[in-house]
Structure 1
Amino acid sequence: GSYPPPVFDFGMPRNITTRTGHTAAINCRVDNLGDKSVSWIRKRDLHILTAGILTYTSDERFKVVRTADSKDWTLHVKYAQPRDSGIYECQVNTEPKISMAFRLNVIVTPPDAKAIIAGPTDLYVKVGSSVTLTCHVKQPATSAQDIGPIYWYRGPYILTPFVAHPNDAAIDLQRISMESTLAEKLQSRLRIANAQLLDTGNYTCMPTTAEAASVVVNVINDEHHHHHHHH
């Protein structure tokens, strides 16, 4: 029988920024792979890094991680260095072959660049109240293009208006909003309207170009709060 040909998922991020020393992950998603295989090629020297699940480089920082359904083929670059910056191609050995290019930018972060969330690191708020977390990034004067976006997480889950986590319905993005200013003063605000018990958790502000900061938000039913201390 004939199968539909392999196709790339063009919704994957094509421009990946990571900091020196961190692990970069470039994700290539292919539908209808069938019996074909996926390779990663470094454009600058046309070096084949991985083919299928095998690694073809002596540089042990590179490896490919695939999902069980063989849709996602993610190139991991451990301890990324500025020299790793450049174009990486995800290639499928169809006839003719198809490929998709990704750009990796590895940036050097000044050691004293870090995020700070104003206020206590352990925050108690009543059910129904609204919470605003303000994160500002303290870093030496940098050229604007070095400043990537600021991401917010709750626990391991990224909080963006665009990502739903079907297995974690507790993240109700109707009530959670974010806004960032990336001008001279680099800051981002996370607002939770009408806080619910489910919103309790560890919130992290993660800039692309500086160390992250976290705060634990505890949403409490006021009348119960005192009983906990008397057990």
Structure 2
Amino acid sequence: MRGQEGHPSRLALLGCLASLCVASVKGFATQTAWTTQTLESISLADNPSPQGPISEQERPTTTHGITEDAPYFVSPPLSSVRTRLGRPAVLTCVVKHLGNRQVSWIRGRDLHVLSYGQVTFSSDARLSVSHSEDSWTLTIKFSQPRDAGTYSCQVNTQPPQAVWYNLTVIEARANILGKETLYLQSGSTISLQCVIKEQLAIPGLVLWYQDDHLVERQSSRIKVTTRVTNVTTSTLTVEAARLQDSGNYSCWPSAGRPDSVLVHVIQGDPPAAMQHGSSAPGACPFLLVPMILTSLMFLLT
């Protein structure tokens, strides 16, 4: 009888122990959640997450009005940089509160790391990096068209902060007006006009070449005039043209891309092919004669 009576007591005791265990687990879970939340709050307060590139005016502050010591960029004076072909390209990045972190320059088109700190990682001797106080400057000497594109100044925070620059290399291009090939009679005047819309590295400096020889400007028959307005216009005039004046004439702007025209000085009347173009179209009517005769024979039969 006692065993049967004690059985409900044991069940009650086991239920009480189970209730205590559930209460302990709930209390432990609550304490763990509170501890985790507290640690996260402390971590966020002591280690603010990077905010990315910001300007001096947008620099973050604490609740006491004191600015944080995290690195930040001063807004660049020029995020779009233009330089002429052959001239140096200079990109300057200003970083405040850099601390023990490093600045890298990265080329956008292939994401190639050009430098880390003041150490360069490029076989191109034209590239160099200089550092003065908070400024990090990437210099590309003797800039070429392939240097154009985007460049990034980056600080190795987590996540990295970066500002981007766009480099434009201006290449002056010559354009000789008129046809690519000219036929002139001996004794006539050769007149070639070259127009350059872009600004020249040396304003007004345009050179003319006949084949691979510089045109002699001091000749009594030859005259070169260059006029600079919103565009540069250079005119080559050769009076009383001779057979030896034939050749490939090129207009070369200073540090720019040339244009050329082929001049033929001939004696007497130019051949018909020179006056009217190719004689191939003239052969087309002769090809139609057999077709017409065949059609007539078919109609008569």
**For this structure pair, what is the TM-score category when the shorter chain's length is used for normalisation?**
0.3 to 0.5
Q: Which has the larger radius of gyration?
A: 2
TM, length-normalised to structure 2: 0.37
Which has the bigger relative contact order, CA under 8 A and spacing at least 6? Answer: 1
Structure 1 length as normaliser, TM-score? 0.48
Specify which structure has the higher proportion of helix.
Answer: 2
